[in-house]
Amino acid sequence: MLTIQQRHWRLASSAIQNHGRARQRFHKAEKQLEKTKLLAGNDNKVGIAGEFWAKWHYCRLGAQIIEVMPPSNEGYDFVCRRGSRRVRISVKVISAENKRGRQLRLKSRGTWDEICLVLLNTDLTPSRIGVAGRNDFLKAQKARKNLSVDPIVTKFWLGPKGWLTQHGQTRDYERRSLP
């Protein structure tokens, strides 16, 4: 039997109410920014936050977002222009709340051109973002015998020996450098 004290009830109630207020503020901002599609997506706020930071990351590197796909689009999440090149980006997000540090599988035969893995802190700000193209992924598969055709996305991809770190580009972020 669980021992639940009055302070536990108060703490849980407070947390639920705070989350509710935060969701209300999020939905209000979502409506205000509807035309920009910066917060486009389904009700998965972690996924929306990760996609937002991926878009921000790409724009910071000089790319222009030219198309944002509807929620649950097969293969990629948005399209950006880098110079004259059109690039389809598949965003994968792992939050600090994800204790196992794993996500779904990366479909290597998907329609993406680049994979963008975003690691989020508990406040949904990015701690690290990694980007790699399809050719980088294929090189990593050849170099690492244990990287399957459709591997499970994991935070270790962005670790010192991770394929994304070794074959792509990674960037660490501190809160003070974020908008």
Topology classification of domain 42-177: Trna Endonuclease; Chain: A, domain 1 (3.40.1350)
**Facing residues of 85 across strands?**
82
Percent of the chain predicted with pLDDT > 70: 92
The candidate with the shortest Cα–Cα distance to 55, out of 21, 82, 78, is: 78
pLDDT digit string, tens, across residues 13-24: 787 778 767 877
User: Does the pLDDT value for residue 87 go beyond 60?
Assistant: yes
Mean pLDDT of 120-139: 92
For the chain, counts of helices (H) and of strands (E): 4, 8
pLDDT digit string, tens, across residues 56-67: 999 989 999 999
Indicate the pTM of the whole model: 0.81
Residue length, the chain?
A: 179
